[in-house]
């Protein structure tokens, strides 16, 4: 077992060295900065509020709905909780059931560290999540941590601000249309309790 662990850790070290030496290596933005012209989304779960900021200016506020279990941070697949932490917009897709979907970089490295510590993921899954976040790619969404967390509209549901998602952030349909057009890939999304 110890030999297998050392081999996996050695493999991870080689991957990291390869990434750092690769000319295509893209360093993710720091938490305090943003490669998208200082555009950022801030979410306060308890207040059911999301704010789009550009520089020092608040561009727009949004009422939000969260996961069915809104009070605690997401821990594992199927817990119906919205995560807490800093994530990045990794994809934007048209989705008939929710109008539009803005996919986030959940799970991030902090989520992966907790997942590994609590045996929700293995070392290979941790490495896949770490590597994807390091490269600015969408992390794997099929692990025990869950995934496919994002911001979406209500679709054909009544647009009442209630907690009904499986962990995503829901906004009114006209708000998701606005966000879909305005928010760029790579924009940080800070989710707080």
Domain ranges of the chain: 29-192
Asked if residue 62 lies in contact with residue 171, where contact means CB atoms within 8 angstroms, the answer is yes
How far, in Å, CA of 6 to CA of 11, rounded? 8
Per-residue confidence in pLDDT tens, the chain, 193 aa: 444 444 455 445 444 444 443 333 333 333 333 444 699 999 999 999 999 999 999 999 999 999 999 999 999 999 999 999 999 999 999 977 788 999 999 999 999 999 999 999 999 999 999 999 999 999 999 999 999 999 999 988 877 778 999 999 999 999 999 999 999 999 999 999 9
Which residues does residue 85 pair with via DSSP β-bridges, in sequence order?
Answer: 191
Cα–Cα distance measured from residue 138 to residue 108, given in angstroms and rounded to the nearest whole number: 10
CA 136 – CA 132 distance, rounded (Å)? 6
Q: What pLDDT is stored for residue 37 in this prediction?
A: 62
State the maximum Cα–Cα separation within the chain, in Å, rounded to a whole number.
56
pLDDT of residue 85: 97
Q: Which residues contact 80 (CB under 8 A, 6 or more apart)?
A: 67, 68, 69, 165, 166, 167
Q: Which CATH superfamily is domain 29-192 in?
A: L,D-transpeptidase catalytic domain-like (2.40.440.10)
């Amino acid at each position: 077992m110890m030999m297998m662990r050392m081999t996996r850790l050695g493999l991870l070290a080689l991957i990291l060295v390869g990434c750092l030496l690769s000319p295509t290596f893209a360093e993710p933005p720091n938490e305090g900065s943003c490669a998208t012209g200082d555009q950022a989304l801030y979410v306060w779960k308890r207040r059911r509020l999301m704010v789009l900021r550009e520089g020092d200016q608040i561009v727009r506020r949004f009422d939000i709905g969260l996961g069915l279990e809104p009070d605690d941070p997401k821990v594992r697949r199927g817990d119906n909780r919205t995560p807490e932490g800093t994530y990045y917009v990794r994809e934007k897709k048209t989705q008939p059931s929710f109008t539009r979907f803005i996919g986030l970089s959940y799970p991030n490295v902090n989520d992966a560290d907790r997942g590994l510590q609590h045996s929700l993921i293995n070392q290979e899954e941790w490495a896949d999540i770490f590597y994807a976040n390091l490269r600015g790619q969408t992390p794997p969404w099929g692990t025990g941590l869950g995934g496919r967390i994002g911001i979406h509209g209500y679709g054909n549901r009544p647009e009442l601000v209630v907690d009904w998602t499986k962990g995503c952030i829901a906004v009114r349909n006209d708000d998701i249309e606005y966000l879909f057009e305005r928010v760029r890939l790579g924009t940080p999304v800070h989710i707080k309790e």
